[in-house]
């Protein structure tokens, strides 16, 4: 059996992050090779390097025993590597046929020859047993069909190695089954498939070889038949134990947030979560664990009223808030730290003072009699946050975009804690920031917790989750599978529940 | 077969219903001007500049660049067309006018594509700049020439020929008149058939070569945009530039080409006004036709033949108000009945508010029609615009905009 791709000591670092360090992996021809790892483990960076989108700082790549140095996706295509992105690169208002042949011809004024291309593409489709109507507009296709178009697109360009980035994340179960059928067909016809995923069930079902990444390093490459799911999960999550923080205060008995059997709306034939019930007490941090895409995000959006739920009840401080608007919910004492600070938490082209007012413009502190904004109070408040949370900035007049990620995040956390909320929903509060900022945010969260705040913490960082939370609930496929006390839980246990191994 | 015809009528009812109504109303003596070959002939002449501007808009917007600078590019076309026509001759003037428009298209491309200026801001700037530049050029170029002023150029030299097709429309062969097939049919006054003959005759009789050239651009645009590799790439960058870039399409180049072609076609539209019409450049000559071209592009749902139809409608209304204010009165009942058809349609679709509004307007037009015999002159001038507005407001429901229109694209932002 030949080697399709061989990498030698690939390293890549971004400012502040070592995304890949000394990754050496061998991928055999005509196999399905899964690359698994948690978010931020370095899978995507490795794929970008293999697809020529970024250059490695160090290391070499060999493709079919040929030394390959690639500087653009075009080079990668010439080496026979094609990529199916998680977000499809398709133009909605063009037909399938047009999408497949786009960019193959030089931009000339001769006739496109749609008939000729149609025949050629149909040959490729029958060779690999893929089926789609070439004359449909992409807009009219289902998600699974769009993915098939992407696969046909790269195969038609002569790709012999397919990289699939989280291909199942957007699919419903039936479509996943169909995709796996297609992938097995491709494999039998000599195509090599690199399958990036963090869903262990699927990886175990489809892959021949599995490479596990963690913290930018390749932990190991194993044969699927020689390994159990638990072993892979352990490699993925690691074994280092967090240091549990001592806490001197006690959880109170008042339920701040109380969810009773809530079920999400049905979108595209599937529900994001079903029949979820849990509560958050005063002076408590409740952690939510779960692999991304298992419904946690949607539950949060339902609590703050961005999404409506189909059934169930949401109580906040004893009051039913199902029918309240997001504005009313936030004004009544819910604070929210969104997972993406640059898209959701701040407006990057506004200064810090304005970023303090956003969403609070109706609060008495910032609203004068004449419905103008009391800028002075906002300036005071942002100065306050800057000193309390140690935000490194020249002043309150600085644009948010000029701050580093850690300082932006500290400012956001400070803003959300300022008005003594009774519930804080913190989604990935320390993702992608430096250790100093992380420690400060942890400390502030604990401090507020001790003062009576109820916190709902969502984090992909299991050590953070175990270290901060008092209790942890685990989401798997839209349901709450278990509730654990953080005193006696290990990351492996959590990983087991998160990947559906334990029930 | 019958099913196909049925669905075709359903899809095109916005065009077909008024057309039928016009034909029926035209049977009345006082409204007979509605469907004569003369009316259609001038409708074509009036429609061409709008159609060209609309096609210009198409090339730009398909590549994702909003072009409200069409008007300004058209102004450049009028002046450069007149200057070229005066200095070198008529056909040369046409191409110099196109170059003038293309130059301003290119400026719009530099601003929106390379410097990511907001497309509306750049378009407005183009419109203001063009008006000033045209006057400036006119003053310095024709300072010492008789019959020119600061707002008007001297008459162009040379002429673009006209032709009448022999046998079908009675055009001469070797200076001898031939049989006029459609002309005779038109004079027979048979219901529908004569009206249709008048329509055909409008295209065949006394038609300028420049008009033929302009009309040929419609199928040509269709071919370029939908049947060539460059057209596919141009459309793809308006839809999903990131994806196109990843497939090796030169996104910037495609946008530059699209916007520059857009300028050239608008320039041609302007040159047509001068060389196919007045014979001189006049300030303010374009009179907002660039914007109406944009409207015809929306009406035509980004399709070349749709644009032809949309501009034809405007040209028709414009021709009517010029030739026969009396016939415009007949349009009132056409509008009233058309709105009533919409009432029925919306009732069927259970859109009661829209239905009620249509009913009110339908009634108002009916009352107006019954209580008058002519339309005040002030309103007559307004006909083309109000017609366009009414049709647009009912036709705009299914417009398929390019996905990433108006969104600046920065190279290399692959995710």
What pLDDT does residue B205 have?
85
Residue B415 pLDDT level (bands cut at 50, 70, 90): very low
Q: Are residues B48 and B121 in the same domain?
A: yes
d(CA B235, nearest CA chain A) in Å = 8
Q: Are residues B96 and B29 in the same domain?
A: no
The Cα–Cα gap between B296 and B300 comes to 6
What pLDDT does residue B32 have?
80
Q: Where in B103-179 does DSSP place strands (E)?
A: 162-163
Q: Which fold has domain A254-333+421-503?
A: Rossmann fold (3.40.50)
Q: Are residues B19 and B102 in the same domain?
A: no
B232–A90 CB contact, under 8 Å? no
Mutation target vs B (from A71, A98, A112; most B CBs, 10 A cutoff): A112
Residue B100 pLDDT level (bands cut at 50, 70, 90): very high
Q: Are residues B6 and B45 in the same domain?
A: no
Residue B409 in any domain: the answer is no
Q: Are residues B280 and B378 in the same domain?
A: no
Nearest CA in chain B to A97: B232
Q: For B301-354, what is each residue's pLDDT tens digit?
A: 899 998 998 898 888 888 888 887 778 888 888 888 888 888 888 888 778 888
Write down the residue that tokens 């209580």 correspond to.
Answer: B371
The gap from C-alpha A178 to its chain's centroid, in whole angstroms, comes to: 24
Of A313, A340, A498, A351, the residue nearest A428 (C-alpha)? A340
Partner residues linked to A26 by β-bridges: A6
Chain B: residues touching A (Cβ < 8 Å): 224, 227-233, 235-236, 239-240, 242-244, 246-250, 253-254, 400, 402-403, 414-415
Domain A3-237 carries which CATH code? 3.40.50.300
Highest mean pLDDT among B63-77, B182-196, B355-369: B63-77
Residues 6 or more apart in contact with residue B132 via CB below 8 angstroms: none
B232–A101 CB contact, under 8 Å? yes
**A357-371 residues labelled b (16+ CB within 10 A) or e (exposed):** bebbeeeeebbeeee
> Do B208 and B276 meet the contact criterion of CB atoms below 8 Å apart?
yes
Q: If you write DSSP's letter for every residue of B336-378 in order, what string do you get?
A: HHHHHHHHHHHHHTT-HHHHHHHHHHHHHHHHHHHT-SS--HH
Q: Are residues B146 and B232 in the same domain?
A: yes
A170 touches chain B (CB under 8 A): no
Which of B228, B231, B233 is opposite residue A103, by nearest beta carbon? Answer: B233
A74 touches chain B (CB under 8 A): yes
Residues 6 or more apart in contact with residue B161 via CB below 8 angstroms: B208, B209
Contacts of B242 in chain A (CB under 8 A): 89
Which of B224, B228, B243 is opposite residue A89, by nearest beta carbon? Answer: B243
The Cα–Cα gap between B199 and B196 comes to 5
The Cα–Cα gap between A179 and A169 comes to 12
Q: Are residues B223 and B368 in the same domain?
A: no
Of A301, A312, A316, A314, the residue nearest A256 (C-alpha)? A316
What pLDDT does residue B236 have?
95
Nearest CA in chain B to A85: B415
Q: Are residues B111 and B156 in the same domain?
A: yes
A53 touches chain B (CB under 8 A): yes
What pLDDT does residue A435 have?
65
Mean pLDDT of B49-58: 96
B227–A111 CB contact, under 8 Å? yes
| Cα distance between the two ends of chain A | 40
Contacts of B258 in chain A (CB under 8 A): none
B403–A112 CB contact, under 8 Å? no
Which of A53, A91, A112 is opposite residue B227, by nearest beta carbon? Answer: A112
Domain boundaries, given as residue ranges, for chain A: 3-237, 254-333+421-503, 346-418
A93–B229 CB contact, under 8 Å? no
Mean pLDDT of B50-65: 96
Contacts of B403 in chain A (CB under 8 A): 91-93
B239–A103 CB contact, under 8 Å? no
B233–A90 CB contact, under 8 Å? no
d(CA A91, nearest CA chain B) in Å = 5
Mean pLDDT of B176-180: 81
What pLDDT does residue B115 have?
93
Residue with more model confidence, A372 or B250: B250
d(CA A68, nearest CA chain B) in Å = 19
> Do A245 and A446 meet the contact criterion of CB atoms below 8 Å apart?
yes
Q: Are residues B90 and B212 in the same domain?
A: yes
Contacts of B414 in chain A (CB under 8 A): 53, 73
Residue B52 in any domain: the answer is yes
Residues 6 or more apart in contact with residue B95 via CB below 8 angstroms: B84
Of B43, B18, B53, the residue nearest B390 (C-alpha)? B18
Contacts of B220 in chain A (CB under 8 A): none
Nearest CA in chain A to B220: A109
Residue B312 in any domain: the answer is no
ipTM field? 0.83
The Cα–Cα gap between B15 and A232 comes to 65
Which of B249, B414, B415 is opposite residue A102, by nearest beta carbon? Answer: B249
Q: For A216-253, what is each residue's pLDDT tens digit?
A: 888 889 898 888 877 887 787 665 444 555 677 788 88
Nearest CA in chain A to B245: A103
Of B65, B59, B26, the residue nearest B268 (C-alpha)? B59
Q: Where in A139-241 does DSSP place strands (E)?
A: 161-165, 192-197, 209-214, 217-223
A103–B230 CB contact, under 8 Å? no
Mean pLDDT of B142-160: 85
Residues 6 or more apart in contact with residue A300 via CB below 8 angstroms: A336, A425, A427, A456, A458
Q: Which two tokens stand for residue A148?
A: 């098939």
> Do A452 and A254 meet the contact criterion of CB atoms below 8 Å apart?
no
B414–A73 CB contact, under 8 Å? yes
DSSP annotation of A413: H
Mutation target vs B (from A47, A54, A107, A166; most B CBs, 10 A cutoff): A107
DSSP annotation of A373: B
d(CA B387, nearest CA chain A) in Å = 30
What angle, rounded to 10 degrees, do the helices at B37-62 and B209-227 form?
30
Q: Long-range contacts: B341-349, Cβ < 8 Å, 24+? A: B341/B13, B341/B17, B342/B394, B345/B13
Which of A90, A107, A109 is opposite residue B240, by nearest beta carbon? Answer: A90
Which of A73, A107, A108 is opposite residue B246, by nearest beta carbon? Answer: A73
- Count of the separate structural domains present in chain B: 2
What pLDDT does residue A239 have?
55
A111 touches chain B (CB under 8 A): yes
Q: Where in B201-352 does DSSP place strands (E)?
A: 207-208
Q: Which two tokens stand for residue B374?
A: 């002519």
| Number of Cβ pairs < 8 A linking chain A and chain B | 75
pLDDT in tens, chain A (503 residues): 788 899 889 998 876 667 888 899 999 999 999 998 876 678 888 888 998 888 899 899 999 888 888 888 888 888 999 999 878 889 989 999 999 999 888 888 888 889 999 999 999 999 888 889 999 999 888 888 999 999 999 999 889 999 998 888 777 767 888 899 999 999 999 999 999 987 788 888 899 999 998 878 888 898 988 888 778 877 876 654 445 556 777 888 889 999 999 998 887 778 889 999 999 999 999 999 887 778 888 999 999 998 888 899 999 999 999 999 998 898 889 999 998 888 888 998 899 999 998 878 878 888 888 878 888 889 999 999 999 998 888 888 888 888 878 889 999 999 999 888 999 999 999 887 766 788 889 989 999 999 999 999 998 878 788 888 999 999 988 889 999 888 888 877 887 888 777 77
A105–B253 CB contact, under 8 Å? no
Residue B65 in any domain: the answer is yes
d(CA B255, nearest CA chain A) in Å = 13
The Cα–Cα gap between A28 and A64 comes to 10
Residues 6 or more apart in contact with residue A181 via CB below 8 angstroms: none
Contacts of A73 in chain B (CB under 8 A): 246, 414
What pLDDT does residue B17 have?
79
Residues 6 or more apart in contact with residue A438 via CB below 8 angstroms: A406, A430, A464
Nearest CA in chain B to A106: B229
Of A5, A450, A50, the residue nearest A247 (C-alpha)? A450
Contacts of B244 in chain A (CB under 8 A): 91, 102-103
A140 touches chain B (CB under 8 A): no
Q: Which two tokens stand for residue A46?
A: 């490795």
The domain in which residue B349 lies consists of 1-35+324-398
The Cα–Cα gap between B204 and B169 comes to 6
A94–B232 CB contact, under 8 Å? yes
SS3 B1: coil
pLDDT of B414 over the 70 cut: no
SS3 A214: strand
Q: Residue B327, exposed/middle/buried by CB under 10 A (0-12, 13-18, 19+)?
A: buried
Domain A3-237 shares a fold with domain A254-333+421-503: yes
Q: Are residues B277 and B391 in the same domain?
A: no
Question: CB atoms < 10 A from the CB of B46, how many?
Answer: 21
Q: Are residues B74 and B212 in the same domain?
A: yes
Q: Are residues B256 and B338 in the same domain?
A: no
Write down the residue that tokens 């009414």 correspond to.
Answer: B390
């Amino acid at each position: 059996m030949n080697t399709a791709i061989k990498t030698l000591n690939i390293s890549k670092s971004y400012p502040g992050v070592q995304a890949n360090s000394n990754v050496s992996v061998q991928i055999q021809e005509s196999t399905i090779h899964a690359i698994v790892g948690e978010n931020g483990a370095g899978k995507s960076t490795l794929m970008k390097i293999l697809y020529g989108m970024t250059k490695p700082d160090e290391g070499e790549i060999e493709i079919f025993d040929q030394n390959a140095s690639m500087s653009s996706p075009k080079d990668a295509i010439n080496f026979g590597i094609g990529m199916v992105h998680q977000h499809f690169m398709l133009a909605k208002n063009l037909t399938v046929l047009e999408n497949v042949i786009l960019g193959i011809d030089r931009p000339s004024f001769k006739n496109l020859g749609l008939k000729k291309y149609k025949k050629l593409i149909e040959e490729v489709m029958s060779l690999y047993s893929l089926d789609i109507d070439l004359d449909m507009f992409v807009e009219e296709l289902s998600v699974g069909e769009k993915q098939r178009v992407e696969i046909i697109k790269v195969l038609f360009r002569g790709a012999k190695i397919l990289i699939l980035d989280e291909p199942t994340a957007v699919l419903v179960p039936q479509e996943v089954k169909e995709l796996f059928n297609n992938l097995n067909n491709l494999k039998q016809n000599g195509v090599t498939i690199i399958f990036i995923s963090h869903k262990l069930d699927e990886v175990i079902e489809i892959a021949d070889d599995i490479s596990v990444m963690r913290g930018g390093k390749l932990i190991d490459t194993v044969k699927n038949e020689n390994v159990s799911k638990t072993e892979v999960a352990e490699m993925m999550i690691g074994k280092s134990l967090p240091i549990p923080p001592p806490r001197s205060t006690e959880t109170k008995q008042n339920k701040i947030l109380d969810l009773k059997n809530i079920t999400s709306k049905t979108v595209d034939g599937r529900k994001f979560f079903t029949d979820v019930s849990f509560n958050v007490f005063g002076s408590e941090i409740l952690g939510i664990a779960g692999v991304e895409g298992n419904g946690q995000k949607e539950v949060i959006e339902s609590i703050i009223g961005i999404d409506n739920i189909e059934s169930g009840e949401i109580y906040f401080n004893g009051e039913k808030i199902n029918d309240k608007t997001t504005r009313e919910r936030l004004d009544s004492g819910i604070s929210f730290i969104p997972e993406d600070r640059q898209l959701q938490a701040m407006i990057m082209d506004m200064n810090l003072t304005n970023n303090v007012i956003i969403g609070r413009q109706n609060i008495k502190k910032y609203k004068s009699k004449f419905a103008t904004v009391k800028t002075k109070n906002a300036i005071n408040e942002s100065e306050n946050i800057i000193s309390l949370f140690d935000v490194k900035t020249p002043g309150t007049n600085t644009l948010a975009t000029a701050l580093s990620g850690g300082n932006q995040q500290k400012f956001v956390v400070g803003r959300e804690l300022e008005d003594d909320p009774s519930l804080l929903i913190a989604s990935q509060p320390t993702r992608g920031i430096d250790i100093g900022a992380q420690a400060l945010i942890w400390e502030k969260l604990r401090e507020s917790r001790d003062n009576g705040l109820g916190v709902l913490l969502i984090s992909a960082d299991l050590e953070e989750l175990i270290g901060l939370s008092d209790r942890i609930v685990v989401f798997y496929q839209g349901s709450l599978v278990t509730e654990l006390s953080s005193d006696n839980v290990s990351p492996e246990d959590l990983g087991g529940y998160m990947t559906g191994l334990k029930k | 077969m019958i099913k196909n015809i049925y669905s075709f009528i359903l899809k095109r009812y916005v065009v077909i219903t008024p057309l039928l109504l016009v034909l029926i109303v035209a049977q009345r003596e006082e409204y007979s001007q509605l469907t004569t070959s003369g009316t259609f002939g001038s409708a074509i002449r009036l429609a061409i500049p709008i159609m060209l501007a609309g096609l210009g808009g198409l090339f730009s917007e398909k590549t994702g660049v909003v072009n409200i600078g069409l008007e300004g590019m058209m102004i450049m076309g009028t002046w450069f067309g007149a200057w070229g026509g005066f200095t070198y001759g008529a056909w040369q003037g046409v191409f110099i006018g196109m170059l003038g428009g293309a130059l301003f298209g290119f400026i719009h491309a530099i601003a929106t594509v390379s410097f990511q200026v907001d497309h509306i801001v750049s378009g407005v700037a183009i419109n203001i700049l063009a008006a000033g530049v045209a006057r400036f050029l006119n003053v310095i170029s024709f300072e010492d020439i008789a019959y020119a002023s600061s707002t008007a150029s001297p008459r162009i030299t040379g002429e673009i020929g006209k032709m009448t097709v022999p046998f079908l429309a009675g055009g001469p062969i070797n200076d001898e008149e031939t049989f006029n097939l459609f002309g005779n049919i038109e004079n027979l006054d048979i219901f529908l058939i004569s009206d249709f003959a008048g329509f055909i005759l409008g295209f065949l009789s006394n038609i300028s070569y420049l008009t033929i050239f302009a009309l040929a651009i419609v199928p040509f645009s269709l071919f370029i945009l939908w049947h060539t590799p460059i057209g596919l790439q141009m459309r793809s960058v308006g839809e999903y530039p990131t994806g196109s870039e990843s497939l090796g399409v030169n996104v910037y180049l495609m946008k530059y080409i699209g916007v520059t072609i857009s300028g050239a076609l608008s320039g041609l539209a302007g040159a047509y006004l001068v060389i196919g019409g007045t014979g001189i450049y006049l300030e303010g000559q374009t009179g907002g036709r660039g914007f109406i071209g944009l409207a015809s592009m929306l009406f035509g749902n980004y399709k070349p033949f749709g644009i032809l139809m949309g501009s034809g409608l405007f040209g028709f209304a414009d021709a009517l108000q010029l030739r026969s204010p009396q016939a415009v009165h007949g349009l009132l009942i056409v509008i009233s009945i058309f709105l009533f058809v919409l009432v029925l349609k919306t009732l069927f679709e259970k859109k009661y508010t829209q239905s009620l509004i249509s009913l009110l307007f339908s009634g108002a037009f009916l009352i107006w029609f019954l209580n008058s015999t002519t339309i005040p002159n002030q309103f007559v001038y307004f006909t083309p615009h109000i017609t366009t507005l009414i049709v647009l407001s009912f036709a705009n429901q299914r417009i398929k905009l390019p996905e990433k229109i108006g969104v600046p694209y920065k190279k290399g932002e692959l995710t």
